[in-house]
């Protein structure tokens, strides 16, 4: 399992918010394999808000993405890595805390 921004556990999420503060970065249309093993992978889309002219009216854009969760401890994954080659930031790492994901590095 992983924990969403609201602190609720989820398993094999079809969608997952990565930016808990504003929802401006999220994963969607995820299809998982290996869930419950040491590492699980998914393919789907990375959705990012476009803040031009501002975040309220800018809309969003989606990029094909691969996701890997790892660090399975006590039935909970502790790390998430995204790869979206055509996105402005093609690779990101997150720590999966009990209150949702926390950005670590690009």
Find out whether 16 and 10 touch, Cβ atoms under 8 Å: yes
Find out whether 47 and 60 touch, Cβ atoms under 8 Å: yes
Tell whether the model's pLDDT for residue 1 goes beyond 90. yes
Instruction: For residue 95, give every residue at least 6 positions away whose Cβ sits within 8 Å of its Cβ, in sequence order, or none.
Output: 78, 79, 80, 101, 102, 104
Tell whether the model's pLDDT for residue 50 goes beyond 90. no
**What pTM value is reported for the model?**
0.92
Find out whether 39 and 69 touch, Cβ atoms under 8 Å: yes
- For residue 47, give the nearest of 29, 70, 34, 20 by alpha carbon: 29
């Amino acid at each position: 399992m992983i924990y969403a921004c609201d602190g609720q556990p989820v398993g094999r999420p079809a969608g997952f918010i990565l930016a808990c503060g504003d929802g401006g970065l999220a994963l969607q249309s995820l299809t998982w394999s290996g869930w419950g093993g040491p590492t699980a992978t998914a393919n789907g889309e990375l959705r990012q808000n476009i803040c031009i002219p501002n975040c309220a009216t800018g809309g969003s854009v989606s990029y094909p993405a691969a996701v890997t969760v790892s660090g399975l401890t006590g039935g909970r994954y502790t790390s998430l890595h995204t790869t979206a080659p055509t996105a402005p930031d093609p690779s990101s790492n997150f720590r999966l805390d009990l209150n949702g994901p926390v950005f670590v590095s690009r």
